[in-house]
Structure formats: structure tokens, C-alpha cells
Amino acid sequence: MSLPTHFKLNTGTKIPAVGLGTWRSEPGQVRQAVSFALKNGYTHIDAALIYGNEHEVGQGIKDSGVPREKIFITSKLWNTHQPNAAEGLQKTLDALGTDYLDLYLIHWPVRLVPNEFNQLLPVNPDGTRCVDRSWDQSETWRQMEELYKGGKVKAIGVANWSISYLEELKKTWTVVPAVNQVELHPFLPQHALKDWCDKHGIQLEAYSPLGSEGAPLMSDSEIQEIAKKNGVSAATVLISYHVNRGVIVLPKSIKESRIVSNSEVIPLSIEDMKVLNGLAAQGKAKRINTPLWGWDLGFDDWYSQ
């Protein structure tokens, strides 16, 4: 069985099945990592304004010498820019040094209100985040649709949206999101969200496939057993799991040997996939990314489904 190297978005465009993540890739390291990845077979880069390194990601893209049109670049509208998506997009385009994105996502279904102390991650005096609960996400999506129609973004989507948020958005969308980028791995497989997105033609993307910083999921004994059986690393099993499931995967590394090995995906047997798909239900359910604004975003649903 051969695995797809690309998936097709509901816009008709093809998107590479594996992309390089760039969160927590320090500005001094990400330029080289991006350039190396593009020279070694990657054609898909996942960026975001909040990562604080888009300028260096852009330099890495230029250093690689790979023509812009051969690269699929994703970035994300940050929470404080929700009332003015065009401004958020322009900041990203300027930093990356490009005049269009292949995919632009709403980073979280949350508006944060900037204050005089912090423009990107504002906090209230009591330490909570400055969240505007009254903000209507359909207004943010309406602006995303405008950007899409304007041509500076070739596809639009969302990130960190649970089914309840998508159901709400569905009432007003005129463009169906092309992508939903969420935390996904065998410990948070989100089967119900996958079914919902499949039904609506929304492509899922898996972030934190290795469990994020330090790749903690690689030390799980059942993952290691499957890796040993297939003669590959635990990272390869965790990354391949998604492509075998029809999901795009975004492993992050700044190390050259890992960048190369993380792009190698293998077919997994029905038996292995059954084990991986069932780990969460057997008591290993775990969500790694839990931002301060996260707990009323339907994450509880995500566990139970």
C-alpha cells in the first residue's frame, strides 16, 4: 500500500501531507531549519504570527532557493487581531516576505483584547487573560471570507475548533473552512471531530503529533512496541499514524537529522491502527496544549468523543 503525499482541499488545491512545524523554533534556529527542510524535500511550512519568528521563517524560505509557488505556506490570524483580520494578515505577509498565503487559519476561536502592557498576550490584573467573551466568531470568519475573495489567501480555515464551535459557524459561513488544525495524536484522536470534519469536507491537520516540547509521547510503551515491530522510530509511528488516517501532520524540529526522518511516513497495518486509535479510550487520553483561555472551548467534549 502506498500512502498519499498530498491531500485535496475543498478549494481543489493539493496540500502536502507532512509540513514542518515552527512553534518554539527560536528565531536564531528556524531560518536554517526551514531552509534545510525545503532543500530536503519538504514543501509545506506551518507558521503563525504569535510564534514571533515569521521574519526568520521567511528568510529561511528565501535562503532555500525554492520558488515560492512550489511551497505551501500556512499562517494564522492571532487572537488580538480578530477585529481586523486584514491588518493581522498584512503583518504576517510582511514578516514572511511574500504577497500571498496558501492557507490562513483563525488561530483560536477566541478574541483577546490588547492593552497598554501587551499587544499579543494581554493579561488582567488578576492574572487571567483579557478575553472578549462577547466577540462573535462569525464576524471573524466573515473577514476571513473577504480575505479569501481578495486573493491574498488561497484557502481559509480554523484551528482549535471543537464540534460545538463549528456547528455555530456553520449557521453563517458562506465559505466552508478548508482546514481545522487541532491537537491530534493517539492520546487525543478526536474521532467524533474527525467524522464531523470528514462529513463537511474539512481537512484535519494534526499539531503536536509527538506530544510537543521534548516529544513525550515517544516514550509510551505501546507506541514503542509498534515502532519495534515495524523497524522504525516511535516518532515515525506517531507521524505516520495521521497520514494513514487521512490527516495532515506537522512535526516540528530544528535538528537536521530529525527534519529528514520526520518526513518519512510508513503504511501501518489495520491491526496497528486499531491499537493506536484505541489508546485514549483505554485510559491514556491526554491533552497537552491547555492555554489559559481554553477551558470553555468545548475541550471537555473533545475528551469524551
Ligand X SMILES: NC(=O)c1ccc[n+]([C@@H]2O[C@H](COP(=O)([O-])OP(=O)(O)OC[C@H]3O[C@@H](n4cnc5c(N)ncnc54)[C@H](OP(=O)(O)O)[C@@H]3O)[C@@H](O)[C@H]2O)c1
Supply the residues annotated as catalytic: 51
Chain residues binding ligand X by CB under 6 A are: 21-24, 46, 107, 159-160, 181, 207-215, 218, 235, 250-255, 258, 261-262, 289
Contacts of 288 (CB under 8 A, 6+ apart): 183, 188, 208, 211, 212, 216
**Least distance from ligand X to the Cβ atom of residue 227, Å:** 11
Quick check: 268 and 240 in contact, CB under 8 A? yes
Residue 57 CB, nearest approach to ligand X (Å): 10
Query: What cell was used for 83?
Result: 477585529
Question: If we measure between CA atoms, which residue out of 211, 288, 196, 194 comes closest to residue 247?
Answer: 194
Rg (CA), the chain: 19
Q: Which residue number, 210 or 280, has a Cβ lying nearer to ligand X?
A: 210
Return d(Cα 224, Cα 201) in angstroms, integer: 33
Nearest distance, CB of residue 211 and ligand X, angstroms: 5
Taking the complex as a whole, the smallest distance from the CB of residue 234 to ligand X amounts, in Å, to 8
Report which secondary-structure segment, H or E, holds 73.
strand 72-77
| Smallest gap from residue 181 Cβ to ligand X (A) | 5
Compare residues 40 and 271 and give the one whose CB is closer to ligand X: 40
Question: Nearer Cβ to ligand X, position 32 or 289?
Answer: 289
Of the pair 26, 271, the CB lying nearest ligand X is at: 26
The percent of the chain in helix, strand and coil, each rounded to the nearest 5, is 45, 15, 40
Cβ-count burial of 249 within 10 angstroms (0-12 exposed, 13-18 middle, 19+ buried)? buried
How near is the Cβ of 15 to ligand X at its closest, in Å? 14
**Of residues 218 and 273, the one with the C-beta less far from ligand X:** 218
Cβ-proximal residue to ligand X, closest one: 21
* Rounded (10°) CA dihedral 44, 242, 222, 265: -50
The single residue listed with the C-alpha cell 481545522 is 180
The C-alpha atoms of residue 273 and residue 251 are separated, in whole angstroms, by 19
Q: The C-alpha cell of 177 is what?
A: 473552512
Of 50 and 150, which has the nearer Cβ to ligand X? Answer: 50
Encode 93-134 in three state secondary structure.
HHHHCCCCECEEEECCCCCECCCCCCCCCCECCCCCECECCC
Q: Which amino acid, residue 189?
A: P
